[in-house]
Structure 1
Amino acid sequence: MICALGAAICFGTASVLQAVAARATEPGTGSGVDAALFLRAVRQWRYLVGLGLDGAGFVLQIVALRHLPIYAVGAAMASSLAVTAVVAARLLHVRLSGREWGAVAVVCAGLLMLGLASGAEGSGTGSTALGFGLLAAAALVLLVGAAAGRLPDGPRALVLGLAAGTGFGVVEVAVRLIDSLTPREFANPALYALLLGGAAGFLLLTSALQRGSVTAATAGLVLGETVGPALVGVIWLGDRTREGLTWLAILGFAVAVAGSLALSRFGEPESGAGAEPGPGADSGPGAGAPTRDS
């Protein structure tokens, strides 16, 4: 669980650093899948630091997935939105309200309940059909991302974030279907689903953060990488809770995800809600609010 929470801290911090870098990057074609945008963004040190944190977070996530049910790791990943909100308050100059701090406390309470109720990871190994299903889902993520490029900025960020979260959710499940990095695993469709889902997630999340809200994009990310993978873990991979504590695990999962989504609703960095005006700023409506280029 410590590894899962460490991964959430890495991912949450990386999201804001990558958002700052992506918004300072020249816009591309507006397509949901914009590989050129990634190549332009990666020239900035903040994006590179974010990628480094993503890499560290991914290693910690793999360790957690080898010891905990997917639903517990997924909820811990959802807490990255609490980290995103706090770091965004620092880097994007948005003051967190008491309501937002309350949501952070709710997320922590949900994770505590999950930590108490979670059992060991399931013993199920899945099937070849599940591996091919993951590969198809990863390909579908790319198609949805391309179609989302035509949406307005608000829903665009949410849909791209949701698609990116689904891609990362594919990675979560695929990790459980890969026994070891042996030559035999090169015939495992889960390996290619992991690579395609991870790459699609990075591309779509970068495009989502380039225009639109950090927290809206991350809210979609939370939904995509928690609900679906948790169900797959319980139904197909045998994830269970400690005896008699199923109700606590369900409650903890719901509370952690709901608290994270509450942060996405009330913490909009680009709206400037509660932002402190800078020295000499005008006192009129919207004064001092950071713009999408800040």
Structure 2
Amino acid sequence: MDMLIPVLFALSGAFSNALATVLQRKAALSVPRSDKLRARLMLDLLRHPVWLAGIVAVIAAAVCQAVALATGPLTVVQPLFVLELPLTLVIAAVLLHGRMSRLGWVAVAAVVAGLAVVLVAASPVGNRTHAPMDRWVPALAVCSVVIVALVVTALRRPEGRGRAACFGLATAVAYAMTAALMKTSMHTLDDGGVTAFLTTWQTYGFAVFGGTALFLLENAMQAGPLVASQPAITLGDASMSLALGLTVYEEYVRTGWWLLPQLLGVALIAVGVFALSRMSLARALTGEDRPAVGAGAT
């Protein structure tokens, strides 16, 4: 029962993020393609209730993630956001009148089954609300260096899969650090109120890393195909969040022979995510392909 609330809110957050992606894409498709300035494009989108509903969904996702992190371990909450991609495609198939092929549904099942296997085998425990600075400093330093190194590597490569994967991994590290900082910040809000929330450094830390993640995500989407960036983002975020949960918050997962089913679950997730990222419906959501009714896997 202790895990029920964070799990429900994490699942709600993943669903809200998925819904926001589809609604915003649906609104964008209703705006005529042209060489309009971005400011004019935003004005056009603001007149669409569907786009505004997408913004509401984004806000709802952020609130759900914050509550989940405030009530549960990082090693439980963040991996559940792996479900965002399959949820996005299922919702898109309904709202954009696309079609999930049989392979698509198999891939969705693989992601869900893999995640269930990983969480059951790992059985994460621990929910520290704060971490000492001697744990934060190395984590911040390592993550910052990794992000910079990945961005530099990406910029040295031509547009394509390698560049998209590097930007995707940098995005994943930024997302994971955002979640780690948000966890302490939300506990501070709960314990000390708004004043404490606005005076703790973690609040500004997660704002900086969160903004960085959004900037890097945009670059990842433009740098190359979704099949390169999305797996890096999805798997990288879950993996880095696990590492931060273990090292910063001293959370615990089972090891020993339990690592075998965990690796099996990770393999299922990876196969499913790669397959979903190759679907034409997934590429349509990022503008990589024009959406088509009845779009299936490629």
Same fold per superposition (TM over 0.5) = yes
Match of 1:14 among 15, 20, 24: 20
Rate the CA distance shift 1:158–1:27 in 2: closer, same or farther, 3 A. farther
- Identical counterparts, % of pairs: 24
Task: Kindly state the Cα deviation for residue 76 of structure 1 after the two structures are TM-superposed.
Answer: 0.9
Q: Give, in angstroms, the shift of residue 77 of structure 1.
A: 0.4
Residue deviations 1:171-230, cap 9 Å, x none? 111123333134455564422220011112223334544675556543332133211110
Question: Aligned with 1:126: secondary structure?
Answer: coil
Shift of residue 261, structure 1, vs aligned partner: 2.2
Residue of 174, 187, 195 corresponding to 2:181:
174
1:111 counterpart (97, 115, 120): 115
Q: Which has the higher helix share?
A: 2
**1:86 alignment counterpart:** 90
Q: Is the 8 A contact 1:81 1:260 kept in 2?
A: no
Q: What amino acid is the match of 1:51?
A: I
> Kindly tell me: are residues 138 and 242 of structure 1, through their superposed partners in 2, closer, same or farther at Cα, counting changes over 3 Å?
closer
Aligned to 1:125: 130
* Alpha-carbon distance in 1 for matches of 2:152, 2:81: 25
**Take 1:134 and 1:39, find their aligned partners in 2: how far apart are those partners?**
41
Give the alignment's TM-score, normalised by structure 1: 0.70
Alpha-carbon distance between aligned partners in 1 of 2:139 and 2:202, rounded to the nearest angstrom:
7
State how far apart, in whole Å, the 1-side matches of 2:95 and 2:228 are: 17
Q: Identify if the C-alpha distance between structure 1 residues 202 and 48 changes in structure 2 by more than 3 Å, giving closer, same or farther.
A: farther
Tell me the alpha carbon deviations over residues 216-259 of structure 1, each in whole angstroms, 9 at most, x when there is no partner. Answer: 54333213321111012123312224799954873575156325
Tell me, yes or no, if the aligned pair for 2:173 and 2:236 is still in contact at 8 Å: yes
Contact 1:81 1:263 in 2 (8 A): no
Quickly say closer, same or farther: Cα 1:48–1:157, change in 2 above 3 A.
farther
Match 2:212 to one of 184, 194, 200: 200
> What SS does the corresponding residue of 1:125 show, helix, strand or coil?
coil
In 1, the alpha carbon distance for the partners of 2:219 and 2:212 equals: 11
Say if 2:165 and 2:228, in contact at 8 Å, map to a contact too. yes
Gaps of 5+ in 2: 1-6
- Deviation per residue, 1:38-71 (Å, 9 max, x gap): 9955862455433322221122122222333322
- The alignment yields a C-alpha RMSD, in angstroms, of 4.3
Q: Which amino acid aligns with 2:171?
A: A
Does structure 1 conserve the Cα–Cα contact (< 8 Å) formed by 2:172 and 2:232? yes
- Closer/same/farther in 2, CA of residues 141 and 262 from structure 1, 3 Å limit: same
Distance in 2 (CA, whole Å) between partners of 1:259 and 1:69 is 26
Can you list the C-alpha shifts for 1:94-133, whole angstroms capped at 9, x where unaligned? 5333222111112222333355453443337322244345
Q: CA deviation at 1:85?
A: 2.5
Count of aligned positions: 272
Secondary structure, aligned partner of 2:188:
coil
1:262 pairs with 2:274: yes
* Structure 1 letter corresponding to 2:87: V
Q: Counterpart of 2:8? A: 2
**1:5 Cα deviation after fit:** 1.3
Q: 1:85 to 1:224 in 2, by over 3 A?
A: same
The code of the aligned residue for 1:123 comes to R
Given that 1:234 and 1:240 are in contact with CA atoms closer than 8 Å, whether structure 2 keeps it comes out as: yes
Structure 1: state its 5+ residue gaps.
Answer: 29-35, 278-287, 290-294
Structure 1 residues 233, 42: closer, same or farther in 2, change over 3 A? Answer: farther
Q: 1:57 aligned to 2:61? A: yes
The residue identity in structure 1 corresponding to 2:75 is Y
Q: 1:239 to 1:245 in 2, by over 3 A?
A: farther
Asked if 1 retains the 8 angstrom alpha-carbon contact of 2:113 and 2:265, the reply is no
Check the 8 A contact 1:213/1:268 in 2, yes or no. Answer: no
**Taking structure 1 as reference, are residues 51 and 67 closer, same or farther at Cα in structure 2, changes over 3 Å only?**
same
- Is the contact made by 1:216 and 1:264 (CA closer than 8 Å) also made in structure 2? no
